[in-house]
Structure 1
Amino acid sequence: MSSTKAVIIGVDPHKMSVTIEVVDTRERLLGRARFDTDKAGYAAMCRYVKQWPARLWAVEGANGAGRPLAQRLLAAGEQVVDVPAKLAARVRLFDTGHNRKTDALDAHSVAVVAVRTDGLRELTEDGELEALRMLTDRRDELAHQRVQTVNRLQRLLSELLPGQRKRDLSATQAKAIRHHQAS
């Protein structure tokens, strides 16, 4: 581990959430939290860790489930190392006496591996993955915008039919109203 980093943030990543544990170089617990992997969750996680400006992120499986988060962190200028799942499992077994998995135990094991292990692979930014993330974010924004537009249009069209609730307006009725209004 880099001696210039005051804290290590162990990350147990999942598709919809990440659990982190922050420890110092003596493995003392400084913080623990769980965040969603959406934009709001990522922003909340970044705000949470700002209290430790000298930090190293240790991500379990940074070439697998942890890859999107690891690349996002790298794009933000963070220092990230990959912790192989086998090393984290070994630490969990030796530290707890069993190999039962919980997100908190996994995040702790990842952080401990980063404290105790020299030579973990330091990650570099992957431009292709970042481009895909940007395209996916844009697609999500467009889909959200389309749903808003359709809902707004349906609400406005339903106001043209007295006594009709928004959800009672069929696509055929909407098309007829639109056609009638255009002519």
Structure 2
Amino acid sequence: MVIIGIDAHKRSHTAVIADAVGRQIAVKTIGTTSSDHLALLAWANKHDDQERLWAIEDCRHLSRRLERDLLAAGEQVVRVPPKLMSHVRDSARTFGKSDPIDALSIARAALREPDLPVARLDGIEREIRLLVDHREDLVAERTRIISRIRWHLHELDPAWTAPANLDRASAFTRIKSHLDDFSGIVADLAQRLLTHLRRLTEEIDELTAELSRRITVIAPALLAIVGCGPLTAAKILGETAGVTRFRSKDAYARHNGTAPLPVWSSNKARHRLSRTGNRQLNAALHRIALTQARCHPGARELLARRKAGGDGGMEALRILKRRLSDVVYRALINDQKTCAARTLTLAA
């Protein structure tokens, strides 16, 4: 088998064919359209028509079209984390950095690591993630607008107390009624921002309702977890990007940053909190853990038992998050099976 490493960029992709021991055979740089990818396949067939593996740097915003075209052509594709590629490049005997050097490092990393994530076509998870990311962008924009409105209101009348929540219909009505008593550029800007704030809130509410409808259908087991609401479930589903790509619950825990890291070199085994992994997933698990710490009897019992055994509050919470990672993993697996069974039933 030969390995074809791909260094992906916005306007070009550089491919390097490497043999089974990592020696460079050929190099080619192409564009990023589907016709360019077809030419890349023809070039690969011309140099070697035996079994091959495509290794692409894992930056899907740049390589998604390439992955889709290769998978449609029946090729095997794996994703190489950028950090792994950089470590291989630094360990090489050559110096410097270029697209061919990076592509060769990607191919060599795929040779060294046999269990890299296998690329798959995008599914419902990407749609959920796009909706979640768009909603979060709108929420961040709404927060900025609320801050600007508050400063304009303070400038117009420091004695007037604005509503605590400016994203509610009652607050819009009250603020607009107050601004009607003023004139000038500051009041005009505040009126414009208030109109924009109302539109943003309506769109955020629409996205929230759409996500809730989708998640209720495709992730019932995830929603059944105490403390996991529709938005948290949507975040987990989108960031996981297909639970079947993880070979075990432990691999999933390593991915979301809840697996502890070993930090010992003598006879006494010690571990510490991991700061690696997908921090968005970790934050979602943290929200579930905080909710369960307040209202779930099993979680409260676990925290109390760990604290009685000498663990601190954060250490006990870390252990709860690790347990929750396994629970979430099993729920995602069950939801995947349910969706697959539903698809088969509809197809029949």
TM-score by length of structure 1 reads: 0.62
Residue correspondences, number: 125
- Counterparts of 1:19-58 in structure 2, within 5 Å, are 19-51=14-46, 52-53=48-49, 54-58=51-55
In the alignment, structure 1 residue 121 sits paired with structure 2 residue 117:
yes
Contact in 2 for aligned 1:16/1:38 (Cα 8 Å): no
Correspondence for 1:17:
12
1:61 pairs, out of 54, 58, 61, with 58
**Greater relative CO (CA pairs within 8 A, separation 6+):** 1
Structure number with higher helix proportion: 2
For residue 50 of structure 1, give the secondary structure of its aligned residue in structure 2.
Answer: helix
Q: Specify the code of the residue in structure 1 equivalent to 2:42.
A: R
- Counterparts of 1:33-182 in structure 2, within 5 Å, are 33-51=28-46, 52-53=48-49, 54-96=51-93, 100-126=96-122
Over 3 Å counting, the alpha-carbon distance change for 1:97 and 1:46 in structure 2 is: closer
Superimposed CA distance per residue, residues 45-66 of structure 1 (whole angstroms, 9 cap, x where no aligned partner): 1110113231100000153422
Tell me the distance in 1 between the aligned counterparts of 2:85 and 2:56.
10
Over 3 Å counting, the alpha-carbon distance change for 1:11 and 1:110 in structure 2 is: same
Contact in 2 for aligned 1:58/1:110 (Cα 8 Å): yes
Structure 1 residue 28: Cα displacement: 1.8
Contact in 2 for aligned 1:56/1:78 (Cα 8 Å): yes
Contact in 2 for aligned 1:61/1:67 (Cα 8 Å): no
For residue 74 of structure 2, give the secondary structure of its aligned residue in structure 1.
Answer: coil
* RMSD, aligned CA: 2.3
Correspondence for 2:335:
none
For residue 27 of structure 1, give the secondary structure of its aligned residue in structure 2.
Answer: coil
Contact in 2 for aligned 1:88/1:113 (Cα 8 Å): yes
Point out where structure 2 has 5 or more consecutive residues left out of the alignment.
126-348
Over 3 Å counting, the alpha-carbon distance change for 1:20 and 1:128 in structure 2 is: farther
Superimposed CA distance per residue, residues 77-111 of structure 1 (whole angstroms, 9 cap, x where no aligned partner): 1100000000000111111465x431011101000
Superimposed CA distance per residue, residues 147-175 of structure 1 (whole angstroms, 9 cap, x where no aligned partner): xxxxxxxxxxxxxxxxxxxxxxxxxxxxx
Contact in 1 for aligned 2:34/2:69 (Cα 8 Å): no
Over 3 Å counting, the alpha-carbon distance change for 1:105 and 1:80 in structure 2 is: same
Tell me the distance in 2 between the aligned counterparts of 1:15 and 1:68.
11
Tell me the distance in 2 between the aligned counterparts of 1:63 and 1:96.
29
Q: Specify the code of the residue in structure 1 equivalent to 2:21.
A: R
**Bigger radius of gyration:** 2
Structure 1 residue 127: Cα displacement: 5.0
Contact in 1 for aligned 2:4/2:54 (Cα 8 Å): yes
Tell me the distance in 2 between the aligned counterparts of 1:84 and 1:107.
13
Runs of 4+ in structure 1 displaced over 4 angstroms?
Answer: none
Give me the identity figure in percent: 37
Point out where structure 1 has 5 or more consecutive residues left out of the alignment.
1-5, 130-183
Structure 1 residue 120: Cα displacement: 0.5
